[in-house]
Each structure stands twice: as C-alpha cells, then as structure tokens.
Chain A
Amino acid sequence: MALLRTEDVTKTFGALTAVNRVTLAVEEGTLHSIIGPNGAGKTTLFNLLTGQAPPTSGRILFDGRDITGTPPQRIAHLGIARSFQRTNVFPALSVLDNVWVAVFARSRRRGLGWRPADRYPDLTERALAALGEVGLGDNARRAARELSHGEQRQLELAIALAAAPRLLLLDEPAAGLSPDETRKMVALVRGLKGRYTIVLIEHKMDIIMTISDRVSVMHFGSLIAEGTPAEIQRHAEVRRAYLGGIVAP
C-alpha cells in the first residue's frame, strides 16, 4: 500500500503554477526520488507535503488519512520528517541540543517536564544515536554554527532522523558538498534505505540512478515521467528536459 499519495496537487503563486496536478504514490519501505531541473517545483511540492504551505487544490493522503493543509507542527507528529535544501539548523544551540529538541518533540506525551533537560537519559541517548548514525557523534558539544558546511548537512539529516519518522523527505541532502562528502552522504542515505520510507529530491543523476527504487521526473511543475531508474534513463522526454532540447543520439 502507498504510504503517501497525492491526488492532483496544485500550487499557484499568482500567475505562476509551481506545482501542477501532481499525482504521486510512494510505496512503504521504498526510496522514491524526485528529479527535475531547477525551478521544476520539487521543493514547493515538499512544502505542500509538510504543511509549510497549503496546496491550491488537490489532496494529500498519508497512510490513508487526508492531511491536506495540516500545519507543519502537526505533520511532524504524524511521523513525517524532512530535511531542508538550505541548511536549517539551530545555530547557537549545541549539536546535541539541535537533535535533542527534535527527539523531545516526538516524546512529549508526558507533557513539558520540569526536570532539567540534561536529566532525560533515554532522550539524550536517542539524540546521540541519531548523531552517531550521521557520523557526528564526536561533535555533540560544539555549537551548530561552528560546524563545517558538510557537517551541517549531516546535522540537518540527524534532526530529521531524530523525529523517528515513518516518512523521511530529503531535500537535496548533498547540496553544496564536495565529491568526497557527497560520497559519504550517499552512503548514509543508502544506509537508511529499507528502514524508512524515503522521498529524495536530488539533482545529481548518478546518485539517483544508483540508490532509487522509483524515480519521478518533474518539469515546469508537472510530473512528466515515472518509473524505475532504468526506465527513466531511456525516457526521451526526460532527456529533453535535462539536456535542454538537444536530442541525444
């Protein structure tokens, strides 16, 4: 069964249709990539899925439940977590606290709590585990703003993982990374595969083709193709969208 389904989701900003009647189904346990040139509407689609903006029309279903227009703070509690394309961490907080607040958000059944924050050993352990997973275990005490760009990208991912999501939306996790860092990030995402249902936005075709189960292609707000990586690679329209009208031999 599809964990996430969109039905004719559309978002317009004035005369611009950023997302145009996108119908998409993400199967549980798969890694589903969304590719497309800059400005194709991929990040806008993520914003609709996570409630940052309501769609102009259409429906979004998560686990069979209509979540269209649900605000972000509620989306998080349903088990959808996202990482952002532009690093979006808490700069002055320690690396551990960055992740800790995300863990705490999802474990808040017992209310706010009066104990000092460092006396929740189970939560701290989970936060450290998320940091360890992305390879930041040794940097827990540093302020997030002191991290390198690559490390901040890792932290970005750790915050999303800390929410123990059922659905993980990753918006270009390798944005701005060096080739070496990119390889590490790809290995990391590959390691998450199977444990989470993942929707991945990415630019770099080589990454997409090696780790995706399904690939959807967006162009000018619309989905123009969907299939396995091999199918997409052969798809003529996709080649045109990516190669700017030059028809490959």
Chain B
Amino acid sequence: MSRAWIAILAAVVLLPMLVRHAIATEIWIFAIFGLGLNLLLGYTGLLSFGQATFFGSAAYVGGYLLKHGGVNVLLVLALGIVVGAVSAAAVGYLCVQRSGLYFIMLTFALNQMFYFTAYQWTSVTGGEDGMPGIPRPAFLGLRLSEPLAYYVFVAACFVIALGIMKRVVESPLGKILQAIRENEVRAQAIGYDARRFKLLAFVIGGAFSGLAGVLYAMLFGIVPLEAIGFVFSGNVVFGTLIGGSGSLYGPVIGAFVFIWLSESVSVIWQRWPLLLGVAFVIVVLFFRGGLVEAWDRLATWWSVRRLRGVAET
C-alpha cells in the first residue's frame, strides 16, 4: 500500500475526532465532487464551470426518491450516479463541440438553465426554499441517521470512488485524456476522436458528481437551490485548484481546505471568503500546481537543506 493511501486512511479515521461529524462528512463528499471535476480540469484540460448541474440534478432525484419512495439507499446512490452521468452526457455533448472560452461559457450557461428549471419547478424542487425532509434510511443494519454511522458510510463511498478514479487515470484512458489536454491536434492525428474522449470524461466526471450530490442531500436532509447553482460549480473549481489540479490527490486536499475554511472559520469570522480569495491568489501566482506543488517544493527545499547540513559537518 502506498503512502498516499495510508495518509488517506489515517485521515478517514482521525477526521471525525477533530471536527464535527457533519463537516468531516462534507469534506469527503466534496472530495468525491472534486475528483469528478479534476478528470476534466486536471487530466483533460477542460475547465467546466457547470459541475453543479450534475451534482444538483442527482441530489434532487435522489432526495425525491428517498422522500417519497422509501427506497433502498444503495439503489438511490446508483440512480444518482446514473442521473449524474446522463445529465453530463447531454450537457457534455453540447459543450465539447466548442473549445476554450466558448466551452467554459457553454458549461456555465447550461448550468444556469438547470438552475432556473429547478428554481421554477417548485412543486418538485421547492424552488428557493429547497427540497427539505430527506431521510437517511438504515442500510445493512447501519443506522445512517446517526452522524457517525453516516460518516463511515460516506467515507467508504469516498475510498471506493478514489480507488476507481485512480484506476481510471492510470488506465490507457487517463493517458489518452492527458494527450488530448497536451495537444489535441496531434491526439487526433494519431487516431483519437478527441470529442468522444472529452465526452467520456464528462460522463465519468458527472457520475462522480451525481454520487456526491445524493450523499450531500442525505447529509443535510435538504437539497438547497444552491446545490445546482453556479456558486457550487465555482466552489469545486476553487477547491480543486487550491489543492492542485495536477495530481489525483489535489482535489482531496482542496476539499479539506475549502470545507474546513467555510465551515470552521466562517463561525469565527464572517468574511472568511476573503481568506479563500487570498489563498486562491497565492496559488495562482506562485503555486500553479496548488498545495500539492507547494508541499513538493517544501519537501525538496527541506531535503536539500538537510543534505547541505550533512555536507558541512
């Protein structure tokens, strides 16, 4: 087992002892959301500003089913993944027709369409008031209504999601997506249909977003309208960039920082987004690879210093 996995498992165990269970749970949910985005952003080089479309759609569908159906939790999660993937396929199909700025604006515009649909469709979504009263039914004897039990459930979902994403990015698909990111013209010239692969990245990313969306709805018992709004889409981009889009674990670290800041510091200081802004500016100016890169550089600097110390004595 690699050091990264040991660190992740240690974090899973330690986190609920350090912060409130709800925050700990939210961190892993946000990390799943970030993993999905980063397949697009980090690996394929596509800045999607509309990931909340898939997150929110799945949250509404999952929430609705749990409220009205009393359905099996695992089935709802599976459905949420499907809703995320299908909505991402529809949105992605339109978006991959364009690139650069137009691509970004399309993801954003389509996100807005979904947002206003949710806003208007009050009979189902509750509009501005959100969709409240979502229960957490028991699952395999695990009483998910207990915060700690739900934390364990979400953490398990995250570990599985991370394992799957690791496999995806290390598979040939991961290499192909990176090749498209690096040089789309050449990737086409050697025989890859770039649009089809971008669409595939959307679908996989959407599936992760969908999973995160349903888990989010279950965590708070409500789907707020913001869950499908562009601020949510922006948050996951910020979190991922702060953590580092160049590595598999970047969005996970980003989720820590982002959720911890928003949930802990916000209690002490209302203007916490300012802190986030400063962090973001520092990252963009000095550490394009996010905290992962900052850490790497620090480690390099430290080992060089130590080696010098050894050489001098």
Contacts and interface: CB of A to CB of B under 8 A. Distances in A.
A90 interface: yes
B192 A112 contact: no
Interface stretch (A57-65, A101-109, A232-240): A101-109
Interface in A60-94: 71-77, 81-82, 84, 88-93
Interface stretch (A16-24, A113-121, A191-199): A113-121
B178 A73 contact: no
Contacts of A202: none
B191 A106 contact: yes
A10 interface: no
Nearest to B178: A93
B178 A159 contact: no
A100 B175 contact: yes
A113 B192 CA distance: 15
Contacts of A77: 191
Interface residues of B, number: 22
10 contacts: A90-B186, A93-B175, A93-B182, A100-B175, A102-B190, A105-B190, A105-B191, A115-B171, A117-B170, A117-B172
A9 interface: no
Contact of B171 (A88, A117, A163): A117
Interface of A: 50, 52, 71-77, 81-82, 84, 88-93, 97, 100-102, 104-106, 108, 112-118, 120, 159, 162-163
A97 B175 contact: yes
Interface in B179-196: 179, 182-183, 185-194
B189 A101 contact: no
Contact of B176 (A104, A115, A118): A104
B171 A91 contact: no
A104 B178 contact: no
B173 interface: yes
Contacts of A84: 186, 189
A81 B170 contact: no
Contacts of A52: 185, 189
B292 to A, nearest CB: 15
A108 B172 CA distance: 10
Instruction: Identify the interface centre among A82, A90, A112, A120: most chain B CB within 10 Å of its CB.
Output: A90
B171 A81 contact: no
B173 A101 contact: no
Contact of A114 (B171, B186, B190, B192): B171
Instruction: Identify the interface centre among B174, B175, B192: most chain A CB within 10 Å of its CB.
Output: B175
B179 A72 contact: no
A88 B190 contact: no
B25 to A, nearest CB: 30
B297 interface: no
B167 interface: yes
A151 B255 CA distance: 40
Nearest to A112: B173
A173 B194 CA distance: 26
Contacts of B189: 50, 52, 72-73, 75-76, 81-82, 84, 88
A154 B7 CA distance: 41
